Each structure stands twice: as C-alpha cells, then as structure tokens.
C-alpha cells in the first residue's frame, strides 16, 4: 500500500520556473515515447526505457532531467499503452482509449534519486541539472515516522495555487478496531448523498451548485481579457483556484464520510454504478459529477482495507423497483419518492433500494444476517466483491 503525503513548496521565482521546465521535459519524453510506439512495431516497455537514454543524448534539455525521472515519464507512456491493450483484449464496447499526446502536463516524478530530504524534514533539494534547488515544505504530515528508503517516489505537482511536493511512501497501513456487528447497504442519490438500509439520510452538499455563481463570474472575467495578455493569465489563475477549492471540498467530504461508514460497519454493500454511462444523460450530468459517487466508493474501499472490513459491489438492476419486503417489482418513475407495495410495505424509495442492496450483498458473501467480521476472515487484499466473482482492485491513496 502506498501512502501519499503532500506538502506545499516554497521557493524563488527562478526555482518555480525551473519546476515548469522539468515538467515540460517530462511531457516531452512521454510524448516522444508515444510517438516511438506509433512509428515502430512491437515496441515494449524496456524499449521505451532505453529510448530515454537516446533522447538524453540528442537533446541537452532532456539530459538535464534526472535519469530516473526520465524513466518515470516513459513508464507513464507505457501505462497508457498497456491500458489500451487491456481494453482491446477485454473486448469492451466503444472507444478503447488509444494513447494520446499529452498537451497539459502538471507534474514530474522522481524515483529514488535526484532529490535529497533535509534532516529536519522541512525542505527538499533537487540535485539534477534543472536548477530547482532547495524548496521549503509546509504541511501537516510528519515524515519523521518513516525512513528515507520507504519513500519510493517524489512528485512535483503544479496547481492553480502553487507547487506541491508529494511523497509516495511504501507502508503497510492497518488499524485494528473492534467488530461492530453491523452491516449496511448504501443507495447513493442526487437528492440525498446516500440513504442507508437503516433509513439514515446524508444531505448532498452540492459544492458545485453552491459555488457556480462565483465560477461563472470568474469565467466571464477570463473571456473579457485579451488572449495572451498578463491580465488574462491572472484571471485564469483565479478561475483555477475556484475550481480547485470545489475539488478539495468534494474530496474532504468523501474521505470523512467514507471513514465514518467503514468504522461503523463490518460489511458495506453499495451499487456497482457505471458513472460513465450515467453522465450521458445531459439533464443530470452536472449533478452526477458534482456528487462524486466514484470518489466516495474509492475511499470506502481504501478504508475497508485499512480497518479490515468487507465491501461488496452489487448489481444495481431493479434495486429501486423491487420490494424489500416481498420481492415484487413495483414500477415507479423518478419523481415517485415513496415505495408503496400491495403487501403493505410503505417507505422512502431510497431506503427500500438500500435494503435490497444490503440483502444482495449479504447473499454474495454467504451470510444471511448480521455478523461480526473477524480479522482473519477479511479476505486479504480483496476490497470489493461483485456477485459471482472476486475483484482484486488496487485502491490508490
């Protein structure tokens, strides 16, 4: 498991310019590797790694970047290529994700060389020929708890509000907590963020809808400025900060909510939604993206690994129509918010769906009621189970 600790970096204007140069070089190497793969048949990962040395010999600015940083850029290129191969072999419908040239790159990644962390862990010095030098670090994480050899990657990330340094730390993060004996099914929605099988509803914060007025004003200011002018660049930076704030609000909400759900339950069942298909509805696309359901699911699965809980992704088909009491299909439109069945079951439609999700989740893992999950029965590294099969998914921090 990789933990990612992020710190705000401070330096002189010349140092920040050098960071931009390093990021442009990383983009050049990645795009060059993509071009080599397009032009030459049967190119593999090792061929791209060797091509980095050729680029360094032919282009002085590429030689200034650390050798392992060049290899990391080639690995990024191969990642897009291998994903394209996997999509083709799996036979998915639609576009397969053919590798594209990167236009807007915002990060450069170093491995175990090219940087040196200060003894007090409050500054980092980049030792390659790009001239970045020593950058001060400011953040809430404590790096003293980890050894230098545990830091496998160091990334320089450029955002609207400045430059950040990310440390990817290889560590086994597990926390032992007492079993609660609770199981829960979650039905996500747009009116409420989610409704669980106990009838608890969590309000949808709608961060984009709340900040939309400020975003539109900032966008109009960008449109009024002359293209290529300094004032337009300043207006774009302000607009970027507005979007960045909303993105951070979504992440903070998803992390805190997911941790609370996982700590309170031994088994969490949720819908295996295909967000890519849902956003094709242009009437609901903005609201669906604003809800960030997938981000919430990723963090639920991550904390399930940390706290040794079980997560189950179930097929969402008919979960809203099927009666949780008798199993009869009760047809209803999206505007119908109450589930009313002939058997006498009357409840909120989202709570009814959550109960069906929990029932399917318990049936998948072979349980028929509430149980206390033992740590030895946590299925190892499995984070999510669909009906009929086990999915081994890598959850990124």
Q: 19-47, pLDDT tens digit by residue?
A: 999 999 999 999 999 999 999 998 999 99
Query: How many Cβ atoms from other residues are within 10 Å of residue 23's Cβ?
Result: 20
The CA distance from 118 to 267, in Å, is 43
Is residue 296 a contact partner of residue 258, using CB atoms and an 8 Å limit? yes
Residue 110 backbone dihedrals phi, psi, to 5 degrees: -105, 150
- Lookup result for tokens 């071009």: 35
CB neighbour list of residue 104: distance below 8 Å, 6 or more residues apart: none
Per-residue pLDDT at 128: 92
CB neighbour list of residue 330: distance below 8 Å, 6 or more residues apart: 321, 322, 323, 339, 340, 341
Pair type for strands 133-138 and 162-170: unpaired
With a cut of 70, list the residues of the chain below it in pLDDT.
Answer: 365-397
Burial of residue 363 (number of CB atoms within 10 Å: 0-12, 13-18, 19+):
middle
The CA distance from 377 to 385, in Å, is 14
φ/ψ region of 388 (left if φ > 0, alpha if ψ in -120 to 50, else beta) reads left
């Amino acid at each position: 498991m990789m933990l990612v600790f992020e710190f705000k970096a401070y330096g002189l204007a010349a140092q920040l310019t050098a960071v931009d140069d390093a990021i442009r070089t990383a983009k050049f190497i990645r795009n060059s590797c993509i071009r080599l793969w397009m032009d030459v048949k049967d190119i593999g990962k090792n061929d791209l790694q060797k091509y980095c040395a050729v680029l360094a010999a032919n282009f002085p600015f590429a030689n200034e970047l650390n050798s392992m940083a060049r290899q990391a850029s080639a690995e990024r290129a191969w990642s897009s290529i291998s994903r394209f191969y996997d999509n083709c072999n799996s036979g998915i419908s639609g576009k397969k994700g053919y590798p594209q040239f990167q236009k807007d790159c915002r990060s450069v990644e170093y491995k175990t060389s090219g940087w040196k962390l200060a003894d007090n862990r409050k500054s980092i010095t980049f030792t390659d020929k790009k001239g970045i030098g020593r950058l001060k670090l400011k953040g809430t994480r404590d790096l003293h708890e980890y050894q230098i050899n545990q830091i496998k990657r160091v990334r320089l990330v450029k955002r609207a509000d400045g430059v950040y340094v990310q440390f990817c730390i290889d560590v086994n993060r597990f926390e032992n907590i007492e079993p609660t004996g609770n199981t829960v099914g979650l039905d996500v929605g747009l009116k409420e963020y989610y409704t669980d099988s106990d009838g608890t509803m969590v309000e949808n914060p709608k961060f984009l809808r709340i900040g939309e007025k400020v975003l539109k004003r900032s966008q109009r200011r960008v449109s009024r400025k002359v293209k290529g002018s300094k004032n337009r660049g300043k207006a774009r930076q302000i607009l970027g900060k507005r979007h960045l704030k909303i993105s951070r609000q979504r992440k903070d909400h998803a992390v805190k909510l997911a941790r609370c759900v996982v700590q309170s339950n031994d088994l969490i069942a949720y819908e295996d939604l295909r967000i890519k298909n849902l956003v094709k509805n242009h009437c609901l696309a903005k609201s669906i993206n604003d809800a960030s359901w997938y981000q919430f699911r990723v963090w639920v699965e991550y904390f399930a690994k940390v706290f040794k809980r079980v997560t189950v992704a179930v097929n969402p088909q008919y979960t809203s129509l099927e009666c949780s009491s008798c199993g009869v299909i009760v047809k209803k439109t999206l505007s119908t918010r109450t589930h009313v069945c002939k058997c006498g079951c009357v409840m909120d439609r989202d709570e009814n769906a959550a109960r069906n999700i929990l029932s399917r989740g318990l049936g998948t893992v072979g349980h028929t009621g509430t149980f206390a999950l033992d740590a030895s029965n946590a299925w190892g590294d499995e984070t999510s189970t669909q009906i009929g099969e086990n999915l081994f998914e890598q959850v990124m921090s």
